[in-house]
């Protein structure tokens, strides 16, 4: 059965149709450009842009899948965490369709969707069976998580200040690379020497697997000329970008080493979230995994950053896991989107019959 999903938690408007056995029938993603002059996502602009883009996007996605609305078996949407205006727009679009078509509406946790992406058929070499060690590195999150089952996420450690993507975005801003920053830093770093600039690696070597990036970000700021920031030559900027990327990768690898010791026999090392699109980090993670004899799974780039395929897949995994427990498909028509929705609350979904 095809499941349609909508993603509108931040600045990407996305729609996808995925079958319950994990075949992607259609996927569309629109990255909003209205935020560029502001150097970051403006929530009110984002919500309005989702509102104007979604109806046509939904129609185009159905057409691309060569399906009629009544072919859909369920409708899902990201209902948090994220920017509340956009979440309301996406959830209400999904609920409206669910009511009109008389199908269940499934509310998806956006972070859970990132966390389960690697289980889509064809991504992980082994299908990423539970339990696996997840490194979640996105715009708003940076955590090591033991994924023990659908709904069962044990946080091993996380950032005590900035998220990894946030650090990339701030460094991009300092270097005048505009927004969004991660891909721009990576591109510039290709021309630079990762060992050119000495930068700190906060918390590296410490017990546990917490992260800290704010000191690294400040150190990058201190390498910039105070007056005219554009006075940095292209080579200097590239060296700084490459050194920053190297520092982030060193930190992540060190922290993961500790996370691995905090978990019993993970089947796989999985990376997820927008920063997982970074090529240098991916290469280091692959190396780390093979050194520890762990299969490694990273989604293709378009499924690392925000997308609706992962939302559909999380809805499907939830349906299947509940079915295995003798529970019906969730019907979340009355659920209000939540700006905050911790993963620790997802276990309740696997025990409570909420219909």
Query: What is the contact surface with ligand ATP in residues (CB under 6 A)?
Result: 10, 82, 110, 114, 138-141, 165, 168-169, 180-183, 186, 273-275, 277-278, 305-306
Residue 169: contacted member of ligand ATP, Fe ion, none (CB under 5 to 8 Å, by partner type): ligand ATP
The interface mask with Fe ion, positions 272-311, x = CB under 5 A, is ----------------------------------x-----
**What is the closest distance, in whole angstroms, from the C-beta atom of residue 81 to ligand ATP in the complex?**
6
Sequence-separated (6 or more) residues with CB below 8 Å from residue 302? 29
- Binding residue (CB under 5 A) for Fe ion from 13, 29, 109, 138: 138
The annotation status of 70 as a binding-site residue, yes or no, is no
Tokens of 342: 């911790």
Pick the closer one to ligand ATP by CB: 90 or 181.
181
- The reply to whether 11 sits near Fe ion by the rule CB under 5 A is no
The annotation status of 215 as a binding-site residue, yes or no, is no
Q: Using CB atoms within 10 A of its CB, is residue 306 exposed (0-12), middle (13-18) or buried (19+)?
A: buried
Query: Which string of DSSP letters, residue by residue, matches 155-221?
Result: EEEEBSS--HHHHHHHHHHHTT--SS-HHHHHHHHTTS-TTSS----TTTT-SS--B--HHHHHHHH
**What is the closest distance, in whole angstroms, from the C-beta atom of residue 184 to ligand ATP in the complex?**
8
**What is the closest distance, in whole angstroms, from the C-beta atom of residue 49 to Fe ion in the complex?**
17
Give the number of residues in contact with Fe ion, rule: CB under 5 A.
2
The annotation status of 324 as a binding-site residue, yes or no, is no
Q: Residue 305 in 3-state DSSP?
A: coil
> Measured in Å, how far apart are the chain's first and last C-alpha atoms?
21
Residue 182: contacted member of Fe ion, ligand ATP, none (CB under 5 to 8 Å, by partner type): ligand ATP
Contact between residue 239 and residue 196 where contact means Cβ atoms under 8 Å apart: yes
Residue showing tokens 């093979």: 290
- The reply to whether 7 sits near Fe ion by the rule CB under 5 A is no
- The reply to whether 78 sits near Fe ion by the rule CB under 5 A is no
**CA separation for the pair 211, 206 (Å, rounded):** 10
Closest CA to 118 of 346, 253, 281, 300: 300
Pick the closer one to Fe ion by CB: 2 or 80.
80
Residues that bind Fe ion (CB under 5 A): 138, 306
């Amino acid at each position: 059965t095809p499941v349609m999903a909508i993603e509108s938690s931040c600045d990407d408007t996305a729609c996808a149709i995925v079958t319950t056995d994990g075949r992607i029938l259609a996927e569309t993603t629109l990255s909003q450009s209205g935020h560029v002059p502001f150097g970051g996502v403006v929530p009110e602009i984002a919500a309005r842009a989702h509102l104007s883009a979604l109806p046509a996007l939904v129609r185009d996605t159905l057409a691309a899948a060569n399906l009629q609305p009544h072919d859909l078996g369920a409708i899902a949407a990201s209902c948090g965490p994220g920017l509340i205006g956009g979440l309301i727009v996406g959830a209400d679009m999904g609920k409206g369709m669910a009511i009109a078509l008389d199908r269940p509406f499934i509310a998806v946790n956006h972070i859970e969707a990132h966390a389960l992406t690697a289980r889509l058929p064809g991504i992980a070499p082994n299908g990423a069976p539970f339990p696996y060690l997840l490194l979640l590195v996105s715009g708003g999150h940076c955590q090591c998580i033991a994924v023990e089952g659908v709904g069962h996420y044990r946080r091993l450690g996380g950032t005590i200040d900035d998220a990894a993507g946030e650090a990339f975005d701030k460094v991009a801003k300092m270097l005048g690379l505009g927004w969004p920053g991660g891909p721009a830093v990576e591109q510039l770093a290709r021309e630079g020497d990762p060992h050119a600039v000495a930068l700190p690696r906060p918390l590296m070597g410490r017990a546990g697997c917490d992260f800290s990036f704010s000191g690294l970000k400040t150190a990058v700021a201190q390498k910039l000329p105070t007056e005219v920031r554009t006075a940095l030559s292209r080579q200097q900027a590239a060296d700084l970008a490459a050194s920053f990327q190297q520092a982030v990768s060193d930190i992540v690898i060190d922290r993961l080493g500790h996370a691995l010791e905090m978990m019993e026999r993970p089947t796989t090392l999985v990376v997820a979230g927008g920063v997982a699109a970074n090529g240098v980090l991916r290469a280091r993670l692959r190396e780390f995994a093979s050194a520890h004899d762990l299969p490694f799974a990273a989604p293709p780039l378009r499924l690392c950053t925000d997308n609706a395929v992962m939302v559909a897949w999380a809805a499907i995994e939830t349906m299947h896991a509940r079915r295995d427990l003798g529970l019906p498909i969730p019907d979340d028509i009355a659920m209000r989107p939540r700006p905050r929705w911790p993963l620790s609350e997802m276990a309740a979904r696997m025990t409570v019959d909420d219909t």
